[in-house]
């Protein structure tokens, strides 16, 4: 499977909506939290495989703004799991030259989480391999509204002339400013929606929906998604003929 991947045409940035933990647990007659615990294995495998392939950016949707509305016990269990996972996995990140970062409203997270995350980010900040971005208390609308606030502030301070506001400048105010937009977005568990993920950044992403529930997702499934991506024709509004002319 891995041999069928064209290393010349890898996406630089893969974004994943890790979905289906609850259903995975339910199928096993277990509680939802059991699904979240088993999700960590998938995160580890996909991160390792991405680093090995030479993918530059992997962004994982781990907790949305809307997920705060889940039952309190589930939210608490997820936050605890986040702390223990970062603590356990940081060694592997160091070993694999992975740089960790996060996007989302970090202030919303419990203090312990914020501390653990900040430490791991600091420890891996000079790594030059894969950049692993965890989207935590993240939503696309939050990101856009934040960008608007910051731009408004800079306009008020005279740093930005309203005439200079364009898509390029706007992108620089988003939480993903240092990253290219994802060429490939994967969602697991067969769900066909964006659920307030990277709304701006997904404008031209290729979308791949996998039926696999996230705790069962492994590197082979990632390879399948990349191979599928490599078969697509990305037209960016142009005609197929124009695209083929450019490629000749
Ligand atoms: C994804 O799995 C994990 C989070 C959103 C935190 P879910 O918990 O959404 O699992 P399902 O969709 O209920 O199966
Ligand atoms: C999206 O999954 C958020 C994450 C994977 C973190 P959800 O399970 O929360 O999405 P909906 O509610 O089914 O749209
Ligand atoms: Mg879900």
Average pLDDT of every residue of the chain:
97
Which tokens go with 149?
């606030």
- Residue 68 has what pLDDT? 98
Report how far residue 35's alpha carbon sits from residue 214's, in angstroms, rounded to the nearest whole number: 9
Place of tokens 């740093």: 159
- Residue 246 has what pLDDT? 77
Place of tokens 């696309």: 140
19 alpha carbon – ligand 3 mean position (Å): 5
Q: Which among 175, 107, 114, 173 has a CA at the least distance from the CA of 140?
A: 175
3-class secondary-structure state, position 224? helix
> pLDDT band for position 247 (50/70/90)?
confident
CB 113 within 8 A of CB 83: yes
Q: Is 33 in the pocket of ligand 2 (CB under 6 A)?
A: no
Question: Does residue 105 carry a catalytic annotation?
Answer: no
Q: Is the pLDDT of residue 108 over 90?
A: yes
Q: Is 23 in the pocket of ligand 1 (CB under 6 A)?
A: yes
Catalytic, out of 6, 9, 45, 67: 67
Catalytic, out of 19, 38, 143, 181: 19
Q: What angle do CA 178, 181, 186 make, to 5 degrees?
A: 125
The model's pLDDT over 219-245, given as tens digits with 9 standing for 90+, comes to 999 999 999 999 999 999 999 999 999
Phi, psi of 60 (to 5 degrees): -110, 125
The model's pLDDT over 37-68, given as tens digits with 9 standing for 90+, comes to 999 999 999 999 999 999 999 999 999 999 99
Query: Which fold, 7-247?
Result: Undecaprenyl pyrophosphate synthetase (3.40.1180)
Report how far residue 193's alpha carbon sits from residue 106's, in angstroms, rounded to the nearest whole number: 25
The model's pLDDT over 147-171, given as tens digits with 9 standing for 90+, comes to 999 999 999 999 999 999 999 999 9
Residue nearest atom 13 in ligand 2 by C-alpha distance: 195
Question: Does residue 97 carry a catalytic annotation?
Answer: no
Please state, for a pLDDT cut of 70, what percent of the chain lies above it. Answer: 100
Does the annotation place 163 within a ligand binding site? no
What is the 8-class DSSP label of residue 198?
S
Which tokens go with 65?
């703004």
Residues ≥6 apart with Cβ < 8 Å to 213 = 19, 20, 21, 23, 24, 27, 35, 188, 189
Instruction: For 117-141, give one letter per residue: b (16+ CB within 10 A) or e.
Output: beebbeebeebebbbbbbbbbbbbe
Which tokens go with 210?
């996998």
Residue 208: which H helix or E strand, with range? strand 206-209
Burial zone of 240 (CB within 10 Å; 0-12 exposed, 13-18 middle, 19+ buried): exposed
CB 202 within 8 A of CB 15: yes
- Residue 1 has what pLDDT? 86
The model's pLDDT over 181-209, given as tens digits with 9 standing for 90+, comes to 999 999 999 999 999 999 999 999 999 99
Report how far residue 81's alpha carbon sits from residue 73's, in angstroms, rounded to the nearest whole number: 12
Q: Where are the domains of the chain?
A: 7-247
Report how far residue 72's alpha carbon sits from residue 59's, in angstroms, rounded to the nearest whole number: 26
């Amino acid at each position: 499977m891995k041999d069928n991947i064209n290393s010349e045409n890898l996406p630089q940035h893969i974004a994943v909506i890790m979905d289906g933990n609850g259903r995975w647990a339910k199928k096993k007659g277990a509680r939802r939290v059991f699904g979240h615990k088993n999700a960590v294995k998938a995160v580890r495998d996909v991160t390792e495989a991405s680093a090995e392939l030479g993918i530059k950016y992997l962004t994982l949707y781990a907790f949305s703004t809307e997920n705060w509305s889940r039952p309190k016990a589930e939210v608490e269990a997820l936050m605890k799991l986040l702390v223990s996972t970062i603590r356990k996995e940081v060694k592997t990140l160091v070993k694999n030259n992975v740089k960790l970062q996060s996007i989302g409203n970090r202030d919303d997270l419990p203090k312990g989480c914020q501390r653990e995350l900040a430490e791991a980010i600091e420890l891996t900040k000079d790594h030059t391999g894969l950049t692993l971005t965890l989207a935590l208390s993240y939503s696309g609308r939050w990101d856009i509204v934040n960008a608007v606030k910051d731009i408004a502030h800079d306009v008020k301070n005279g740093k930005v002339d309203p005439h200079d506001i364009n898509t390029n400048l706007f992108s620089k105010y988003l939480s993903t400013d240092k990253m290219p937009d994802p060429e490939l977005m994967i969602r697991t568990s067969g769900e066909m929606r964006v659920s307030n993920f990277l709304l701006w950044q997904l404008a031209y992403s290729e979308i791949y929906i996998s039926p696999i529930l996230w705790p069962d997702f492994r590197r082979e499934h990632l390879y399948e998604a990349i191979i599928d991506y490599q078969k697509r024709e990305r037209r960016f509004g142009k005609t197929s003929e124009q695209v083929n002319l450019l490629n000749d």
